[in-house]
Chain A
Amino acid sequence: DTEVTQTPKHLVMGMTNKKSLKCEQHMGHRAMYWYKQKAKKPPELMFVYSYEKLSINESVPSRFSPECPNSSLLNLHLHALQPEDSALYLCASSQVTGLTDTQYFGPGTRLTVL
């Protein structure tokens, strides 16, 4: 099974709201990722967690706060977002084998900031 699940599927929030996105995988992968994808563009990496520790933060604004409570779960906490943050947020997981890393993506959360 190569399934990554994400909730919610859709989220509409105001600029003063606090919300969270959730990602879950049960493949035993020890790396988990958050990507942001704008329309007609490829995904852009935001954060990487490896063994539950933050390994990469691609200079993401602090209004996005990631959290990895355990090896299966990844959260993205959202606060005081801007309308330009509206996008599809994708979670992925992987397990490096040798020098190969195959990432499996979830279905995404479509976020709209009003």
Chain B
Amino acid sequence: AQSVTQLDSHVSVSEGTPVLLRCNYSSSYSPSLFWYVQHPNKGLQLLLKYTSAATLVKGINGFEAEFKKSETSFHLTKPSAHMSDAAEYFCVVSDVAGGTSYGKLTFGQGTILTVHP
């Protein structure tokens, strides 16, 4: 069974400072990992994904994440926070069973990012 742990339920930063949102996963095989962002009362937007190619993954809006197999981590970073980054972020593992044409997602509990002026 797969699981995802987001290590911080809330992160608060000042505008212009770096962002670090931490995620650890548990998977019995090489996983597909994602970060999604959700602004208040909106749907989930895909930020980036790791699918066993490059371990450093670049996403939209200046975000990137590094897959570290030895640490079972997939932390999300951004060099300089913007007010518009304030939202909830979900780390997600995807499982595609052999022979099927769909996946099942395992979500972390989410990290709420607050950005102060």
- A101 with B90: CB separation less than 8 A: no
**Residue total for A at the interface (Cβ-Cβ under 8 A):** 32
A75 within 8 A of B: no
- A43 with B101: CB separation less than 8 A: no
- A42 with B108: CB separation less than 8 A: yes
Q: How far is the CB of A34 from chain B (nearest CB, A)?
A: 12
Cα A56 to Cα B107 with chains together (Å): 18
Cα A103 to Cα B35 with chains together (Å): 11
Cα A101 to Cα B95 with chains together (Å): 8
B32 within 8 A of A: yes
Contact with A along B38-52 (1 / 0, CB 8 A): 000111111001010
- A99 with B109: CB separation less than 8 A: no
Chain B interface residues (CB < 8 Å from chain A) = 32, 34, 36, 41-46, 49, 51, 90, 94, 96, 100-105, 107-110
Chain A interface residues (CB < 8 Å from chain B) = 2, 4, 6, 30-31, 33, 40-43, 45, 48, 50-51, 55-56, 88, 90, 92, 94, 96, 99-108, 110
